[in-house]
Structure 1
């Protein structure tokens, strides 16, 4: 048992040393796998070091800001309704969907799906405990959801009064989001979490604000164009439908948000954080 613990300790020391010494490629000036991973672990640990109130307020801000994506989704849907086919409208929403994500990520508010893999890496690197990860996830999710509820109430009230969109638009978007069986929503959310975790990794690899904006736009536009389920945007979409239309029940909302959150977490933590981290570890061992 003692030898096993010593071996694991030495292995962790080797990993930490390799991360410490990771540098950009001299030929391409591109960040190496180890350098990106090191930055992600450092960024993740900085979030752990923040106070609970700071995390809650930052995640609340992200929940509010994602509402601007929803505002534009509703506005564009309402504007195009009756002018083009329904399928074309739904696909065209990918043009405006990324706006809220750009605001959140460049503004460094804390969004659950973008932070899922980031916050998992310090745990894999044995710098934080699994319990602390769950506590942090809980705070971020709580803030994101409350922010989403607040902005949904505001937009459902102001939208029809300013003729930006009507309540029929709100209902149609909500029904479109939940119009699948639970397995489909869950699997879709895993893929969405995977893409958002990958986005976090790619942003860490980029070196300019412009390239980050392009990456955010590409990844989130893919989510919108394919209809993959993002828990925090979906929270606003389905909650707004529930408070404004009898076509959406509380049970509909509850099933959706639980499946979407769980799927996003699995996609971000397993398919990005775990695989990226293990790939580096095996390289160190090799």
Structure 2
């Protein structure tokens, strides 16, 4: 039976709608979505933000646990340099858990939360309040998973205190300028991660994006303040080679570098490039 003109028109409209839904987002659409997502976080209560951040600090610790397991397993079989590169394969696991679980991670949210300030929908005092809550939650969560890892690893015979010490020393072996520039690059990549995730709507593609970006950070040995917090704090509580001064210096430089990378190279440049009409 032949279709009526109305049915044919309806089918054409449905096909057009499907094509529009599957079409990639434009730069301005991504920017609007990013600002909208950031404003949703601004609307959350302080306790909600802190708990979500604390959870992220815990979850990201699974990257550290797997790094310890792989390092201990491979130690003595291949060179240390090869071990650090292979660890990049498991480094993304904690990030996948955090990002897909919608927990709030400082380095991912740094550039995102700065966008409403650029857009004049929020102010610097609210931005610093949010950054502080997220950062404190991430760090405290990381400290707790560090304590758990230090206790459970040797008891399960999956890694030793010596392995933790080697990882911690490896993280802070560079001078502060190198850590600073490295942290800027890591913050830049994490800001791009947030941007790319907004343009993707399938779970598989999101996992792939998270894996690629964070594996690059791991393979290059870039310094990430939240994973680094767990790595260095674990060394602090297990080894005499890591001092409180080492930990505090590393954290300060890594946090500032990550924040600068996300704000300048992603939030500021993306906003200036794509918000030229001022209608977001």
**Structure 1 residue 281 displacement after superposition:** 2.8
State the match for 1:154 in structure 2.
148
- Give the direction of change, closer, same or farther, for the CA distance of 1:163–1:186 in structure 2 (3 Å limit): same
**Structure 1 residue 123 displacement after superposition:** 0.6
Deviations along 1:236-264, one digit per CA (max 9) or x if unpaired, are 00000000000000000000000000000
State the match for 2:64 in structure 1.
70
Distance in 2, Cα, partners of 1:165 & 1:131: 43
Asked whether 1:58 is paired with 2:52, we answer yes
Which of 224, 228, 242 is residue 218 of structure 2 equivalent to?
A: 224
Distance in 2, Cα, partners of 1:225 & 1:52: 35
**Structure 1 residue 282 displacement after superposition:** 3.3
Output aligned runs, 1:25-44, within 5 Å.
29-44=23-38
With the length of structure 1 as denominator, give the TM-score of the two structures.
0.89
Which of 130, 135, 154 is residue 136 of structure 1 equivalent to?
A: 130
State the match for 1:237 in structure 2.
231
Deviations along 1:106-164, one digit per CA (max 9) or x if unpaired, are 00000000001110001110000011101100000000000000000010011011111
- Report the RMSD for the aligned CA atoms in angstroms: 1.5
Which of 208, 216, 219 is residue 214 of structure 1 equivalent to?
A: 208
State the match for 1:281 in structure 2.
275
Contact 1:63 1:148 in 2 (8 A): yes
Please give the secondary structure, in 2, of the residue aligned with 1:247.
coil
Which of 105, 114, 123 is residue 111 of structure 1 equivalent to?
A: 105
State the match for 1:19 in structure 2.
none
Contact 2:225 2:255 in 1 (8 A): yes
Contact 1:25 1:32 in 2 (8 A): no
Asked whether 1:186 is paired with 2:192, we answer no
Contact 1:173 1:237 in 2 (8 A): yes
The structure that has the greater radius of gyration is 2
Distance in 1, Cα, partners of 2:277 & 2:259: 26
**Structure 1 residue 283 displacement after superposition:** 6.1
Contact 1:115 1:197 in 2 (8 A): yes
**Structure 1 residue 27 displacement after superposition:** 11
Asked whether 1:169 is paired with 2:160, we answer no
State the match for 2:82 in structure 1.
88
**Structure 1 residue 28 displacement after superposition:** 7.3
Contact 1:40 1:204 in 2 (8 A): yes
Distance in 2, Cα, partners of 1:144 & 1:161: 26
Q: Which blocks of at least 5 consecutive residues in structure 1 are unaligned?
A: 1-23
State the match for 1:11 in structure 2.
none
With the length of structure 2 as denominator, give the TM-score of the two structures.
0.91
Deviations along 1:11-66, one digit per CA (max 9) or x if unpaired, are xxxxxxxxxxxxx9959711000110001000000000000000000000000001
The count of residues paired between Structure 1 and Structure 2 equals 262
